[in-house]
Amino acid sequence: MHGVKLFAPASIANISCGFDVLGLCLENIGDIMEIRRSEKAGIHITSIKGQVLPLEANKNVAGVAGLALLEAHNPQLGFEIKIEKKIKPGSGIGSSAASAAGTVAGINYLLGNPFSPSELIPFAMEGERLACGSAHADNVAPALLGGFTLVRDTNPLDVCKLPTPLELAATVIHPKIEVKTSDARAVLKQRVSLEKAIKQWANVGALVSSLYEEDYALLSRALVDEIVEPSRAILIPHFAKIKDACKAAGALGSGISGSGPSVFALSRGMTNANKVAQAMQEVYKDTDIPFEIHVSPIKQSGVSILEILK
């Protein structure tokens, strides 16, 4: 077994009330990667299709994540990586996380799986550190574990996989504008009122409960962000209209995906998710902002092996 071809899924982080702690994995949006053994030690990125990104391993999230894994396992080993980027960087649906997660999952598979999926998360987090300056796990955790995940702590790392209601589906609209993570962080308030904090952690608890109980009505009530969304909404054109349109189309709830500019909505069933997609399109079709829309079930597993390469 000299190589693997794999699917590295996109993800939605925060999920309204769970800033920096909640995430979910998308089934049919993601990158395609090929990872092969190399006689030359280290990580060697040989091609990237779809986006202009650095090939140097220490300047690419995939390379940094792979090097972190090799440092922990055996620095003398070598791997070559080809990446077909289908998730646009800066879209807010875990582009960097997909590359990092795909790399460590693929290398781990070729090594005979010495690390569990949870043990791969810290390596992938190093790619996130390169991408945005902080080693956060709210995208890489669902990309590796699948479904919904909760990052209880990062020091030491403590990640919980949560159940996924079978009918749940996501709709994501990506307005093709740039929202820098640094700008999205800069608009956040450093202090919040006790009243808002109480509402926020109550919503997080309710959301987790709704996943275990498959209580879609409770999930809908929990998809409220008291703290982050009110500050970040100004960065996304027509955000209020999008939320109103999603609600009118039958979505359980909606919010900013990651730091934006993508906006997500969760629905019960793909039929409703497609109706929400049409409603999102109506909001943006007469603007001068290009956009793309994705509709996807929640992926129950993380990175998927597509083919064994001889």
State phi, psi for 246 to the nearest 5 degrees: -60, -45
CB 289 within 8 Å of CB 175: yes
Which helix (H) or strand (E) covers residue 44, if one does?
A: strand 42-49
DSSP designation for 287: S
Token digits of residue 57: 């391993």
CB 149 within 8 Å of CB 21: no
Catalytic residues: 128, 181
Q: How far is CA 21 from CA 98, 143, 150, in A?
A: 17, 14, 5
DSSP 102-157: HHHHHHHHHTT--S-HHHHHHHHHHHHHHHHSS---TTHHHHHH-SEEEEEEETTE
State phi, psi for 17 to the nearest 5 degrees: -80, -10
